[in-house]
Amino acid sequence: MNLYVRKLILSLWVVAITTDISNGCPEQCSCYSTTNGNDVSCEFQDLHSIPLNLGLPNDTYKLSVHSSSLPKIEDTDFSNLGNLTVLRMEYNGIFVISDNAFRYSRNLQILRMEDNKLLYLQGKLFVNNEHLIYLDFKSNAISTIEVEVFGRLVNLETLRLNNNKISSLDKRLFSNLTNLKTLSISNNLITNIEDNTFINLINIESLNIFDNRKMNRLTAFIFQNLTEVTVIDLKQCVIETIEANAFFNITGPLVLSLQNNKIREIHNKAFRDLTGVEIINLDDNFLQTVKSETFVNMPKLKVLTIRRNRIFHIEVNAFGELPELFFLSVLSNTLICDCRIRSFRLWILQQTSTIVDGAICSEQNGQLIKDILNVEECKETTTEIESSTITSESAETTQTIVITKTNNNVNQASSNISNLLGIIACTVSAMAFITIIIYIVIKTRCSNRSSVHKQNKTGKQEEIVGYDLAETPNCYSNEYDLPQEAI
Ligand SMILES: *[C@@H]1O[C@H](CO)[C@@H](O)[C@H](O)[C@H]1NC(C)=O
Ligand SMILES: *[C@@H]1O[C@H](CO)[C@@H](O)[C@H](O)[C@H]1NC(C)=O
Ligand SMILES: *[C@@H]1O[C@H](CO)[C@@H](O)[C@H](O)[C@H]1NC(C)=O
Ligand SMILES: *[C@@H]1O[C@H](CO)[C@@H](O)[C@H](O)[C@H]1NC(C)=O
Ligand SMILES: *[C@@H]1O[C@H](CO)[C@@H](O)[C@H](O)[C@H]1NC(C)=O
């Protein structure tokens, strides 16, 4: 159809609408009068601008516009609709919203612009719209957002920007959204979230960041001040490392989704503040070890899954007492059942109300870890375990004390076995190496060790120290048998 004919048909049609406004409702629309004003729904086809301002009732309260090919929202489209409260323009193919399009819609509360073709959001778009509660720009092609655009929206509760082409977020972009409850920025091209981007979102409940396949870091304190948050969804990014304090001060109930990332390492203080967390999903990552004290002090944790990682080693005290935990899955990992699996095995036996899924020895035809009978003691000094224990002692908190207490039984059981083996070992070595020189060497080494433990031992840390001793078979029997004052 040539352009002239199209224009002719369109203008005839506009005339048709104009002449039809006698009843206050354009032909293409249906209008329902409500106590709040008119609820209007319009279905347009093949048009280049909306003839709305020509015909819509001026008390329109709610407006839905459906059109397959509307390129632009003009300044005047809603300019006489002072009471417009709900505007739905989803699935319209809109590329551009004119700067002043919403300027006269001071009562606008809900704006749905999802599934259009918008490329940018200019800063002045919402200068008069402080009543907005719900704003949806999902599934457009937005790559540029001017920093002031949401600056007035202090009542906004939901903001959806997911499925766009956003590559960076100015840290001031959300700074005035103190009432926001849901923020969706998933499925974009975000590479990095700057410090303080979320710091004023003090009422946020749901934070959806997943599917940003260029985001590889989670920096410390990034979620601080989000005391109300209950969902943080970070799945399907490319996060490699979770720094210490990444979840600083998130003490409320939380579902934390971290599956399908590239996490190789979780700092053992990364989850430290998650005292209210209920579900953690770490499936499909690249973890090789679970560090000491990673999953401790989580009294509400119910489900923890770490499936399909590459875990071969779980450090001593990686899991603390988790009283509410009913499901742990470590399915499809490569756990090695040498002496170092012992503490994880004891933990499994302790957690009587937890279903532990997939805790099998990868190199022994899938034998269940809890069924292994003789896990040998480690003969070599495991310095790695010692250093992490010492770290946790020096950062002395009330939490550490709780951990120490809850691990009492585990430690006690292991140190009993250790004592026995140690007495035998030292008797044999005494008979084998009677020379005074060797005796002195051993003696020196032991007294060095006891001075280290003496420094570390502060009040209630005895069980940890006891465990530490049990890991050093050359000396522990001597030290552990001595009365406390002598150490
Ligand atoms: C709405 O339109 C009616 C006529 O249709 C007019 O009398 C009235 O003043 C208008 N109200 C406003 C607020 O513009
Ligand atoms: C807009 O809403 C107010 C308050 O509900 C009402 O008084 C006013 O008449 C409405 N305006 C129009 C044009 O309907
Ligand atoms: C936030 O609100 C303040 C005060 O109204 C204003 O000065 C500031 O520019 C706003 N911030 C942004 C990013 O628009
Ligand atoms: C946390 O939010 C409060 C507002 O409730 C604000 O005053 C404070 O500065 C924020 N904290 C930080 C560390 O910015
Ligand atoms: C952490 O949370 C506690 C309790 O909600 C609060 O008292 C403290 O100020 C917060 N710390 C920081 C640095 O925001």
pLDDT digits (tens, 9 = 90+) for 111-128: 999 999 999 999 999 999
Higher-pLDDT residue of 484, 133: 133
Higher-pLDDT residue of 406, 94: 94
Angstrom distance (rounded) from CA 487 to CA 484: 6
Six-digit token pair at 115? 């599934």
At residue 461, does pLDDT exceed 50? no
| Ligand 4 centroid, distance to 171 Cα (angstroms) | 14
Task: Assess whether the C-beta atom of 364 lies below 6 angstroms from ligand 5.
Answer: no
At residue 345, does pLDDT exceed 60? yes
DSSP H stretches of helix in 457-481: 462-470, 476-481
| Average pLDDT of the residues in 364-369 | 81
| Average pLDDT of the residues in 448-456 | 39
**Would you state the torsion angle of the CA atoms of residues 466, 468, 469, 474, taken in this order, to the nearest 10 degrees?**
160
| Ligand 3 centroid, distance to 381 Cα (angstroms) | 59
* C-beta separation of 173 from 201 below 8 A: no
Nearest CA, atom 14, ligand 2: 59
Distances (CA, A) of 144 to 91, 123, 133, 398, 401: 20, 10, 22, 47, 50
* C-beta separation of 98 from 122 below 8 A: no
Give residues (CB < 6 A) around ligand 2: 37, 58-59, 83
Six-digit token pair at 8? 């002719």
What does pLDDT average to over the chain?
Answer: 78
At residue 136, does pLDDT exceed 80? yes
Angstrom distance (rounded) from CA 171 to CA 299: 34
> Which range has highest mean pLDDT (207-211, 431-435, 456-460)?
207-211
Angstrom distance (rounded) from CA 242 to CA 218: 5
Band of the pLDDT at 479, cuts 50, 70, 90?
Answer: very low
Angstrom distance (rounded) from CA 314 to CA 343: 8
Task: Assess whether the C-beta atom of 245 lies below 6 angstroms from ligand 5.
Answer: no
Atom of ligand 5 nearest to the CA of 249: 1
Q: Of the ligands numbered here, which is closest to the C-alpha atom of 53?
A: 1
Given this model, what pLDDT does residue 179 score? 97
At residue 148, does pLDDT exceed 60? yes
| Ligand 5 centroid, distance to 228 Cα (angstroms) | 12
Given this model, what pLDDT does residue 45 score? 72
Given this model, what pLDDT does residue 452 score? 36
Question: What residues contact 174, with CB distance under 8 A and at least 6 apart?
Answer: 150, 159, 180, 183, 197, 198, 200, 201
Q: Which helix (H) or strand (E) is 404 found in, with range?
A: helix 398-406
What φ, ψ does residue 55 adopt, rounded to 5°? -135, -15
pLDDT digit string, tens, across residues 159-170: 999 999 999 999
Higher-pLDDT residue of 338, 180: 180
* C-beta separation of 274 from 299 below 8 A: no
* C-beta separation of 274 from 245 below 8 A: no
Task: Assess whether the C-beta atom of 146 lies below 6 angstroms from ligand 3.
Answer: no
Confidence (pTM): 0.74
Nearest alpha carbon to residue 230 among 169, 283, 293, 183:
183
| Ligand 2 centroid, distance to 77 Cα (angstroms) | 19
Pocket test for ligand 5, best of 249, 250, 251, 273 (most atoms within 8 A of CB): 249
Task: Assess whether the C-beta atom of 202 lies below 6 angstroms from ligand 4.
Answer: yes
At residue 322, does pLDDT exceed 80? yes
| Ligand 2 centroid, distance to 60 Cα (angstroms) | 9
Nearest CA, atom 3, ligand 2: 83
What φ, ψ does residue 318 adopt, rounded to 5°? -60, -40
What φ, ψ does residue 194 adopt, rounded to 5°? -70, 155
| Ligand 5 centroid, distance to 249 Cα (angstroms) | 6
Q: Of the ligands numbered here, which is closest to the C-alpha atom of 57?
A: 1
What φ, ψ does residue 334 adopt, rounded to 5°? -130, 55
| Average pLDDT of the residues in 374-400 | 43
- Which residue has tokens 């939380």? 254
- 221 three-class SS: coil
Termini Cα distance of the chain: 97
At residue 177, does pLDDT exceed 60? yes
Question: Please, what is the angle between helix 398-406 and helix 462-470, to 10°?
Answer: 60
| Percent with pLDDT over 90 in the chain | 55
Angstrom distance (rounded) from CA 375 to CA 343: 10
Pocket test for ligand 4, best of 200, 201, 224 (most atoms within 8 A of CB): 200
| Ligand 2 centroid, distance to 268 Cα (angstroms) | 59
Nearest CA, atom 6, ligand 4: 200
Q: CA angle, corner 340, sides to 376 and 302, nearest 5?
A: 125
pLDDT digit string, tens, across residues 32-88: 999 999 999 988 776 666 665 557 888 999 999 988 778 889 898 888 899 999 999
Task: Assess whether the C-beta atom of 249 lies below 6 angstroms from ligand 5.
Answer: yes
Nearest CA, atom 8, ligand 5: 249
- Which residue has tokens 């009587």? 352
* C-beta separation of 179 from 154 below 8 A: yes
At residue 2, does pLDDT exceed 50? yes
* C-beta separation of 179 from 151 below 8 A: no
Given this model, what pLDDT does residue 338 score? 86
At residue 470, does pLDDT exceed 60? no
